[in-house]
Structure 1
Amino acid sequence: MTAPRAVSGIAGLVAAALLVVVAPGPVTASPTTASPTTASPTTVQVPWRWWDGAAHQLTNGLADPPGINRDDCRPSARHPVPVILVHGTGLNGGNSWATFGAALAAEGYCVWAPTVGAPPGLGSTGGFDSLTGASAPQLAAEIDRVHTLTGAEKVDLVGHSQGAIIASYVTATTRKDAVRAVVTLGVDPARSGEGPPEFVTEAFGVLSAETAQRDAEATLAWLGDEGVPFARGVRYVAVVSDYDELTGPVTAPVVPDFVDLRVVRLQDGCEADRSGHLTVLASPRAVDLVTDALGGTAAGDADVRPPRCVPADGITGVLAPVPAR
């Protein structure tokens, strides 16, 4: 990682940490206190501020925002594949995915957003523990749990920042037969095989030297004999933004023919959306691109609706009213 990106990465992490609700909690992957009987949100109830998830947790006793972690949800014929959302560094499932969770649930998807990698003592602050000892096995367990709950043969994974790396790692190393697609936000797919950013453990000293070394060795092994962090038979879609403070502009990497990878630039067709590393979590255009990557909206293939173009920046997020798609 170059020096400018490392500096901006730490700045982004600090900004993210300001949103985190820290409270005692389990270190296994789990939702917080979702209510299984709460009805799914409608499209007009989707929140469009990237801090809405944190605000909901602060005012509702750490309960998850509407739409996610409903264990009574069963996939429909229109959307038969459950979706698991994977948060980034210093965040949790609830405060990361209020917008995406509500938007996907409103379209008829069954959506889960566990918290992974929360070290003992950091409660609901995820993404700081070991890749191999915590985050990866916790996500793998959640995939298995959702499979058992729903009976679905496969799941789709949507990951943001470090969550994108965890999702890709788990898919390639232990669950490639259980994952249909991996959709990512806030990562450069050419660099995802490098593993979680080193500044996380260097800055906070959460992991021991031995654990950090084990994670580094696992990251190297992740590339496998073919030298790429992508699994055969899995579809990958990377949604990227030129204004992401960690990645900067991203171009599609050169990959072997067996890799099914598509890189989608957020600004293609919408230069007004300048969402950054965190504000992309509430970008209407990003929501629409991810929804399309997962199979489309409930309107059906005959009614193709272009992704929305709403002005947004890297600090506030959306800068104008969000229309229906």
Structure 2
Amino acid sequence: MLPRTPRTPRPLWKHALRTLAVLLLTAAATLAPTAAAQAGTAPSRGWNDFSCKPSAAHPRPVVLVHGTFGNAVDNWLGLAPYLVDRGYCVFSLDYGQLPGVPFFHGLGPVDKSAEQLDAYVDRVLAATGAAEADLVGHSQGGMMPRYYLKFLGGAAKVNALVGIAPDNHGTTLNGLTKLLPYFPGAEDLLSASTPGLADQIAGSPLLTKLNAGGDTVPGVRYTVIATRYDEVVTPYRSGFLSGPDVDNIVLQDLCALDLSEHVAIGTVDRVVMHEVNNALDPAHATPTTCLSAIG
């Protein structure tokens, strides 16, 4: 490894300016109206509405796949309404449940979780009448669907997979345990059997099988959105994929002021939400910048 070149210390005023900019960006994202300009055409129903029929503008339902320790509601309180307000039929599932463990999911074996996703996508397609779905997943939820695509026939039913901070090539157990402070009570689970954690460790048999022979499968578009400040998926570039129809994106290349780490990038970051919308509807994509936080 080459030695790092020492950085010249920044003047204090630059640090102050950057801090102020970050605070303003955060405030804008928090206070932003939810697509007020589109209120007249947005559907009034929420997500997981199995009577929703995809429109000509958004012909594919979107299935949201939560991350480790997450669930079908808490992970998507930001993104699901954001997409519904833009005219998508949006659905989310719980997967990877352990017996007797409420709320904290994504802890079961990844291959079994992929089977749950398979059944759920079939249910969504049957209800909506769509031929294909789009998948958006956070953390494990961006990696686990690849098992479904590669080994369970999912590629024939999925148009695109958008992974937000996915651990496609694994991370360390230490990285996964850094999620614990975000989920009070989850630390008690470490004494239980958590195969979903073991499957995500770099070099695990599951990940070795998943990535053997290439990261992608034909017929699916892949987007990965990563953050330089990811403290769970380390190094953050381990989430990137190689192959055709892959777009690997670093959040800070879109908005240098965005300091979102692993949890925030998948739950509250509206800059990311704008880029997810672009990935789902590339024909109508608009540039993603820091101003996207108020869009």
* Common fold: TM-score over 0.5: yes
Alpha-carbon separation, structure 1, partners of 2:172 and 2:128: 30
CA contact (8 A) 1:158 1:167 kept: no
> How many Å separate the matches in 2 of 1:265 and 1:230?
19
Q: Match for 2:261: what amino acid?
A: G
Structure 1 unmatched runs, 5+: 1-40, 46-65, 312-321
TM-score normalized by structure 1? 0.65
Partner residue, 1:146: 124
Name 1:221's counterpart in structure 2.
209
- Structure with greater proportional helix content: 2
Question: Residue 169 of structure 1 aligns to which amino acid in structure 2?
Answer: Y
Return the index of the structure with the highest Cα Rg: 2
The TM-score, its normalising length taken from structure 2, stands at: 0.71
Of 300, 307, 311 in structure 1, the residue corresponding to residue 288 of structure 2 is: 307
Q: Which runs of 5+ in 2 are unaligned?
A: 1-32, 38-44, 178-186
| Corresponding residue to 2:104 among 122, 125, 128 | 125
Contact kept in structure 2, 1:193 and 1:229, CA below 8 Å: no
**How many residues in Structure 1 have an aligned counterpart in Structure 2?**
240
CA, structure 1 residues 308+105, in 2 after alignment: closer, same or farther (shift >3 Å)? farther
Deviation at 1:149, TM superposition (A): 0.6
The match for 2:271 is 285
Among 147, 158, 161, which residue is 1:169 paired with? 147
Summarize deviations over 1:188-223 as a string: whole Å, max 9, x none: 5xxx1449969579x7254388x969x954443323
Query: What amino acid maps onto 2:144 in structure 1?
Result: I
Partner of 2:30: none
Could you say which residue in structure 1 is the equivalent of 2:256? Answer: 271
Deviation of residue 254 (structure 1)?
7.6
Counterpart residue type for residue 52 of structure 2: C
* Partner in structure 2 of residue 100 of structure 1: 79
Change (3 A) 1:165 1:44: same
The aligned counterpart of 1:180 is 159
Match of 1:43 among 35, 43, 51: 35
C-alpha distance in 2, partners of 1:95/1:148?
25
The 1:193/1:249 distance shift into structure 2, 3 A limit, reads closer
CA RMSD after TM alignment: 3.3
Q: Secondary structure at the match of 2:237?
A: coil
Structure 1 residues 308, 284: closer, same or farther in 2, change over 3 A? farther
CA distance 1:166–1:206, change in 2 (3 Å): farther
Q: Tell me the secondary structure at the aligned position of residue 93 of structure 2.
A: coil
Query: Is 1:261 aligned to 2:246, yes or no?
Result: yes
2:136 to 149, 158, 167: 158
Match for residue 193 of structure 2 among 189, 192, 207? 207
* Paired letter, 1:271: A
What does 1:182-201 align with in structure 2 at a 5 Å threshold?
182-187=161-166, 192-194=168-170
- Give the whole-Å Cα distance in 1 for the aligned partners of 2:227 and 2:98: 30
Structure 2 CA distance for partners of 1:195 and 1:161, relative to 1, 3 Å: same
The alignment partner of 1:183 has SS state of: strand
1:269-310 CA distance string (max 9 Å, x none): 4211111111112111100000000005xxx83xx6432415
